[in-house]
Amino acid sequence: MTRVWVRELMGWLAASALALIVSGQMAASARSELLFRDGDSLIVALFAQSSSSGGPSHWALSSVLFLPETAVFTGLDLLLPFDVNGVLAASAVVNLLMFYGALRLVAGRRRSGTSPVTWALIATAVFGLLAVTETSASRDALELASLLLTTTYYSTTVIAVVLSVGLIRRFVAHEKRGAGLLVPLASVAALATLSNPLFAVWATIPLIVVLAVLALRPASRSRMLLSLAVLVGGTAIGFLGRIPFSEWIANTGAGYAQPELWVQSVGYYSHLLGDRLTTPLGVIGTLLTVALLVFAAIRSIRVHEPAERVVALAAWVIPVLVVLGAIALGTHAARYLQPLAFAPVLALVAAPRALSIPRLRPVFAAIAVMLLAGSVVSIPRLASAAQAPDADLTCVTGWVDASGRTGAGQFWTVRLPKLHLDDPARLVQVDHQLNGYAWLVNRTDFDVGEVSFLIEDAQTVAWQLPLDVVPDGVVDCGRYRILDFANTPLPLGPQHS
């Protein structure tokens, strides 16, 4: 019993080292833009900040409610003595640790002749390798593994998909003791769908296909159909649970489906793939993904146990159906294709046979030393990236905090300064005509009615102000400019999303 406990502990320690190494590498690359500064990436931090302040909340969110992500971020913020960037960095590490935990669940119980901890670590390392091949600052690049490290791009949805596969695998594998896993399966499906309906696309629909196909075999039919029913039932409960949050959902997501644009969707994703193949790291990442998909397809044929076949089929059916579905719906967003990154690694834990390597202990000792050294080096890299000075941002936040007034800015410009203010409500999110832009923001911000300065940068669309006025002064803050209208406050227009 002690040996099992030690083995599991060592697995978590090794996974922690991997998480630090991968997070440190991402934070040290241009991809750190998505961790710390991108307008989209800051929604969870802004939401958590607003929720913990105790002030009134009337949020305008997308179809994603970010409930588990916000809970994780808030918990880390309460536990750790870090500023907001430090919490974002810690969230990256925790997300990868949760991914390992989900893979460990998928790998199944340890039995004679199996090494689930080792294979869960190998799968995590392979996923981490995919992530470190991704170095661009673009949120729209076909660099999908690294999105798990952000707080915004559906990290807990990814974890929920993998957990669902793991719970189904364990239910199918344990005929006498498996019934107790159906409640967690329904709960994961319900909570994941409540927060993000994309779970139904990434998990429920593909797993219905997998389970229905495997139910054709009489030996496992009842357990496959029962798993399917529980998964569908949990998903349905999650959709019903979204009803009370309808006032917060500014876009249900239905408008994203444009089947008539499927040809343009093919061109869009093909262009992203072409861009990915222009760099050596991109080629390595793409080849690794293809190799995993091929390995998953082969493994789904060769494994014999129904529980193993569930995992092996899911490893390639999920990404294939998601890609085909994304194209059929005419979507144009790389983040919807994340199963291409995380699902294929499930093949590595489908049948975690024990490794037969001569002199295994020296090999493990060498790997442990490398992981320890890598994590020791990665901690200061991660801390340095989180604490990197930003004189332009400090200039803006210092001026706004000192002014005691309320100003405005456009989405891609205002969100980073807004997050770092003493009172985020001092910056209101507007469009170029000064209408309230109610998108991923607290609508109570617009109650101020007027603003007395504007913030702009290179991403700002030329202003079309409701009054024919010129600023009383302009404050230069490097990449930002503050247009001061202290003597002529500007009225806000109506809200839209």
Residue-wise pLDDT tens digits, 312-344: 999 999 999 999 999 999 999 999 999 999 999
Residue 50's pLDDT is 85
Residue 140 lies in a domain: yes
Residue 449 lies in a domain: yes
Residue 139 belongs to a domain? yes
User: Is 20 a member of any domain?
Assistant: yes
Identify the top-confidence range among 15-29, 215-229, 250-264: 15-29
Residue 381 lies in a domain: no
Work out how many domains the chain is built from and give that number. 2
Do 157 and 83 reside in the same domain of the chain?
yes
Do 321 and 457 fall within a single domain? no
Domain assignment present for residue 81? The answer is: yes
Residue ranges making up the domain that contains 245:
1-373
333 plus 412 within the same structural domain: no
Query: Based on the domain organization, do 308 and 411 belong to the same domain?
Result: no
Same domain, 313 and 407: no
Residue 150 included in any domain: yes
In a shared domain, residues 179 and 306: yes
Residue of 403 and 373 predicted with greater confidence: 403
Are 246 and 358 contained in the same domain? yes
Whether 406 and 326 map to the same domain: the answer is no
What average pLDDT score do residues 74-90 get?
Answer: 95
8 A C-beta contact, residue 453 and residue 487: no
One domain, residues 169 and 238: yes
Task: Give residue 297's pLDDT band: very low, low, confident or very high (50, 70, 90).
Answer: very high
Same domain, yes or no: 442 and 363 = no
Q: Above 70 in pLDDT, residue 177?
A: no
Considering the domain architecture, whether residues 426 and 326 belong to the same structural domain is answered as: no
Q: Which is more confidently placed, 352 or 234?
A: 234
Is pLDDT of 175 > 70?
no
Instruction: Give the pLDDT confidence of 250-270 residue by residue, as tens digits.
Output: 887 777 778 898 999 999 999
Over the stretch 422-465, which tens digit does the pLDDT of each residue have?
Answer: 999 999 999 999 999 999 999 999 999 999 999 999 999 999 99
On whether residue 387 sits in a domain, the answer given is: no
Position 1 scores a pLDDT of 45
pLDDT of residue 362: 73
